[in-house]
Amino acid sequence: MDGQTSLIPMERIERAILSIRGEKVMLDSDLAELYGVETKVLNQAVKRNVSRFPEDFMFQLTAIEVFKLNRSQIVTGSQKHRDPRFPPYAFTEHGALMLAIKQAFPDATYTVRHAVGIDASDLFVARTGIRGSNDLVWVGRAANVAAKMCGLRHGGNFVYITKEVLDKLNDSVKYSSGTPKQWMWESFPWDGQTIYRSSWVWSAD
């Protein structure tokens, strides 16, 4: 491409994003088209690195989901007429990011993970460093525990909180808004205490 980077129009990406199983996903065929490879080649690359694509990164559609997808008026041409015997794979945001990393760094041996850890306690805050280039340093239990919980990831759980935080939450972030209401937190033993984890997500309005 003469050394120039080809930018993909945002509209093209937005059209390829679907909502399946409550997740915003892109199908293997659309990702393959964006990366300029055949769908078969993309899926073969994924199979060679399947340990880096857990269920919250990628899942295969069921025959019923393929049927509904083919009946949808919003899917692209490449998404239609998929053989039900070979359902497509859907990639979440994390899965798409992992694919992009594998495209750029095919020999990479790490897996992209993230979580949010939240604790509450008194903190001591100090400004350190030289004048004009200094940072805030947070000292206390909450800073330490929250940082450790950020390294946790079990299945599709993204948020980890301590009991102190749970006790301060109002019902809107404890129970779902649907009917019947569902408890959104699961207790989880960790580091000699009980913390709580959740796979629910909240929009930032």
- Name every residue whose Cβ is closer than 8 Å to that of residue 26 and which is 6 or more positions away in sequence: 16, 17, 18, 90, 91, 96
Strand partners, 24: 19
Measured distance CA(186)–CA(157) in Å, rounded: 10
pTM: 0.47
- Confidence band for 193, pLDDT divided at 50, 70 and 90: very high
**What was the pLDDT predicted at 3?**
42
Q: Using 50, 70 and 90 to split pLDDT, how confident is the model at 105?
A: low
The dihedrals phi and psi of 156, each to the nearest 5 degrees, come to: -100, 20
Rounded to whole angstroms, the Cα distance separating 149 from 195 reads 9
Q: Give the mean pLDDT of 79-87.
A: 63
Which pLDDT belongs to residue 104?
63
pLDDT of residue 118: 92
Residue 203 has pLDDT above 70, yes or no: no
Query: Is the per-residue pLDDT at 70 higher than 80?
Result: no
Q: Is the pLDDT assigned to residue 204 strictly greater than 60?
A: no
pLDDT band for position 189 (cuts 50, 70, 90)? very high
109-133 confidence digits (pLDDT tens): 655 566 889 999 888 887 776 555 5
Residue ranges of the domains in the chain?
A: 10-104, 116-198
Least confident of 1-10, 101-110, 174-183, 194-203: 1-10
pLDDT at 5: 44
Q: Tell me what the pLDDT averaged over the chain comes to.
A: 79
Task: Supply the pLDDT for residue 51.
Answer: 78
pLDDT reading at 74 higher than 60: no
pLDDT exceeds 50 at position 4: no
The mean-pLDDT minimum among 93-97, 159-163, 200-204 falls in: 200-204
